[in-house]
Structure 1
């Protein structure tokens, strides 16, 4: 296999400060961690892909159709989603790739461009710039590389030096693929993550059917107590297969501690589909509280990804389904909504609550003060619309003076695009090296401290936050 990532990566000063003195410090800090193993404690790469180890599909499916970062910007530029293979009609992969190439200049300055160009150059060895004239040559070159054994998923998993990769899984998944991977020749760990959103939110498609399936799988009665017992049983199944965390994607970070009678009433109504909007909201809030209780009891790290209004375009959802690029952030507040959880368990250092936001105004106003006091709270890394170089710098500037580095989660790639994992982690390592270099140059920390923090940001910090 050609050298893929590490030999070429160090030759570039990409994302390091332009000032020569700062760049020199940042370059040395980055060099310390450039080759460090990757810890990816939250993402969406399916375990089945690594288990089957089948070749990746064509370039369009790998880099365009499955990446909503790419399809949403192409759509904004006037490209219909059905021209990208998201509709009912089959579209030739080469045609989709040519469409990307025609619009590639419109991605200038975006994180998508940064990641995709790094994947092409440093993983696939393709150095020609993408454009209409080069589209077919690059498509053919990628297609050839993807057929090579060295570019199968398991080979790349080892080449990327992934120490830990967490998937995101349905509570009723049997997790057999994880068990097989645990007994395979992979050098790193692949662990499941418990993601129960569709079983907790009455507004989720198929909620009642999911809950009935959950109760049936555990042979639990159709009562609120039976429902909780069934959820606890599935969490135990995940823990037995190596899970370290439970993830919750919520619009509103609201936790409510309700009495047993009201909880039973709400459960019956949401299951029948007769609960009004206010009661559905209260049920969601109580279930987030119950998930916190379960994390305290079973030790799974609780991560909360809040503040994204899913499927903003009704017409697009009707035509193309969910998760097709029209999820939009909204203003989000954590302090009051999560107070019942923190009043009950926030002082317990064995309870780990990692909070993610796409509302930057909460970084210094809410998340840093919360993590700067409560032993249970960690600040999640910049996520989704914020996992880009300038946003990472703003994040560090906003939270460090209050909470420091050690109350954060370490970088989270949160990706479905397997080939982008090293590019995304490399971006974070460069951004952190640049930020630390600034603190050294300002004589706020010593170089020895900066070196320790740089090392810990890719090792001890995520391992601590996620109990690895």
Structure 2
């Protein structure tokens, strides 16, 4: 039998199905607004063909990789090399993309019931036209089919951008990035459609091993000596101006904790000097990173860049794997995160500022109804970001709407903006979010808590208008 997708997948069953179907059909073809992405901008600047199915769909997908690792498949067998170039005993580095693809297909059953399965089915069927389900037996045929498609001009990154109906996509770029790829895109007429996002994390965590190198790079790219606290702040302001001039609309901050406590200028200067001398403590570094979130909020009030914060991820839980395979390869695991007290300093200072927009994400879904939705339902500057990472799933999206809407409503959220470096999965993620929202709104209609016309209007806002409003374009 030919493999296909059910047209009403992820919509609720029973009496809600026809209502949700009508709502979904009103939003299914709206343009995609992807404002929190991690696709490498160089892919668009170069517009080269993707290398092979494994490098496009398997190797960069950390959800897919970690599931295979959890079942005993070593990272080298998935084409991920150790940093020293030597594989562990019994696990030589696999360099054949076809072999990597076979390994993935032979483990297809592992993804039953997961959002990864949803993305992959959508990609394989809707984008590449695959008509048989992955398996050890079908792996080579599917590989050849996708590889042949990737050689065609209509599967280049920019052609897919048009096909996906992407209106705008934001990349995430390091604070010391030269933005050359974005400038190249702007010269080719893509500057309003693919925009950078300012990500200064390595510069705000002063106990990172690469902090000194990042500081030197910041000094070099800005022409401002960042080796004093005042110079450091000036250089960060300069970089933010550079990003804004290149079309950026937002900053992005991934911290372990949500603390935003401001330090005195004297204390911040002292800790900065301790970091320069290599004598900063973990406690001092944490206090400084919280203080710098406060400073980033202050700068956003000045330059208008939307501030995004997503704390609560313990990076590289397996430190041995991280040391061997590199940063972010050691599995990021959620932790309980406190927001009410942690965000109080920045919200008391800037929560009513007309020039400040603050979007908060979380991995700790217990915080939505208890802390985040009430905060977003009170402070004009704050919005709730879409469910992120482990909540980026059908059930997680439903729980988000159920727990957040009561106190934040729909209009104190950003709508859906996705969060992926797996480029081909972007349409699937937005499609799923629209189906889940259609189902949630259908229940409100069936319970006579909302009219159908209101539900359709709300669905359109969640899919399109709210993401655009949450990340407004700034004058150059």
TM-score range, shorter chain: over 0.9
1:207 aligns with 2:202: no
1:463 aligns with 2:457: no
**Conserved in 1, the CA contact under 8 Å of 2:94 and 2:100?**
no
Tell me, what secondary structure is at the counterpart of 2:174? Answer: coil
- Number of residues of Structure 1 aligned to a counterpart in Structure 2: 459
| Partner of residue 57, structure 2 | 63
1:292 aligns with 2:271: no
In structure 1, stretches of 5+ residues that fail to align are 1-7
Please report how far the alpha carbon of residue 388 of structure 1 lies from its aligned counterpart in structure 2 after TM superposition: 0.5
Counterpart among 63, 66, 71 of residue 77 in structure 1: 71
- Residues 197-222 of structure 1 deviation map (CA, whole Å, 9 limit, x = unaligned): 00110232311111122123333342
Tell me, what secondary structure is at the counterpart of 1:378? Answer: strand
**Conserved in 2, the CA contact under 8 Å of 1:116 and 1:420?**
yes
Please report how far the alpha carbon of residue 92 of structure 1 lies from its aligned counterpart in structure 2 after TM superposition: 1.0
CA distance in 2 between counterparts of 1:319 and 1:455 reads 46
Tell me, what secondary structure is at the counterpart of 1:464? Answer: helix
| Partner of residue 5, structure 1 | none
Written as runs of structure 1 = structure 2, the 5 A alignment for 1:326-365 is 326-365=331-370
Please report how far the alpha carbon of residue 90 of structure 1 lies from its aligned counterpart in structure 2 after TM superposition: 4.2
**Conserved in 1, the CA contact under 8 Å of 2:192 and 2:247?**
no
Written as runs of structure 1 = structure 2, the 5 A alignment for 1:23-422 is 23-87=17-81, 88=85, 89-184=93-188, 186=190, 189-221=193-225, 222-324=227-329, 326-422=331-427
Please report how far the alpha carbon of residue 94 of structure 1 lies from its aligned counterpart in structure 2 after TM superposition: 1.1
TM-score by length of 2: 0.94
- Residues 218-270 of structure 1 deviation map (CA, whole Å, 9 limit, x = unaligned): 33342111100000000000000000000000000111211111111111111
TM-score by length of 1: 0.96
CA distance in 2 between counterparts of 1:325 and 1:50 reads 28
**Conserved in 2, the CA contact under 8 Å of 1:59 and 1:143?**
yes
Please report how far the alpha carbon of residue 188 of structure 1 lies from its aligned counterpart in structure 2 after TM superposition: 6.4
**Conserved in 2, the CA contact under 8 Å of 1:378 and 1:409?**
yes
Please report how far the alpha carbon of residue 281 of structure 1 lies from its aligned counterpart in structure 2 after TM superposition: 1.2
Tell me, what secondary structure is at the counterpart of 1:164? Answer: strand
Could you tell which deviates more after superposition, 367-376 or 220-229?
A: 220-229
**Conserved in 2, the CA contact under 8 Å of 1:158 and 1:188?**
no
CA distance in 1 between counterparts of 2:222 and 2:98 reads 47
**Conserved in 2, the CA contact under 8 Å of 1:30 and 1:430?**
yes
The list of structure 1 runs, each at least 4 consecutive aligned residues, that deviate by more than 3 angstroms after superposition, is: 185-188
**Conserved in 2, the CA contact under 8 Å of 1:55 and 1:147?**
yes
Could you tell which deviates more after superposition, 198-207 or 48-57?
A: 198-207
Counterpart among 6, 10, 20 of residue 15 in structure 1: 10
Please report how far the alpha carbon of residue 325 of structure 1 lies from its aligned counterpart in structure 2 after TM superposition: 5.5
**Conserved in 2, the CA contact under 8 Å of 1:383 and 1:412?**
no
The 1:286/1:185 distance shift into structure 2, 3 A limit, reads: closer
**Conserved in 1, the CA contact under 8 Å of 2:132 and 2:138?**
yes
**Conserved in 1, the CA contact under 8 Å of 2:319 and 2:330?**
no
**Conserved in 1, the CA contact under 8 Å of 2:176 and 2:214?**
no
Please report how far the alpha carbon of residue 401 of structure 1 lies from its aligned counterpart in structure 2 after TM superposition: 1.0
CA distance in 1 between counterparts of 2:94 and 2:72 reads 19
CA distance in 1 between counterparts of 2:456 and 2:435 reads 13
Please report how far the alpha carbon of residue 157 of structure 1 lies from its aligned counterpart in structure 2 after TM superposition: 0.5
Tell me, what secondary structure is at the counterpart of 2:251? Answer: strand
**Conserved in 2, the CA contact under 8 Å of 1:353 and 1:377?**
yes
Please report how far the alpha carbon of residue 127 of structure 1 lies from its aligned counterpart in structure 2 after TM superposition: 1.9
**Conserved in 1, the CA contact under 8 Å of 2:175 and 2:200?**
yes
Please report how far the alpha carbon of residue 183 of structure 1 lies from its aligned counterpart in structure 2 after TM superposition: 3.4
CA distance in 2 between counterparts of 1:405 and 1:234 reads 34
- Residues 81-100 of structure 1 deviation map (CA, whole Å, 9 limit, x = unaligned): 11111124342111111111
**Conserved in 1, the CA contact under 8 Å of 2:191 and 2:247?**
no
**Conserved in 2, the CA contact under 8 Å of 1:245 and 1:466?**
yes
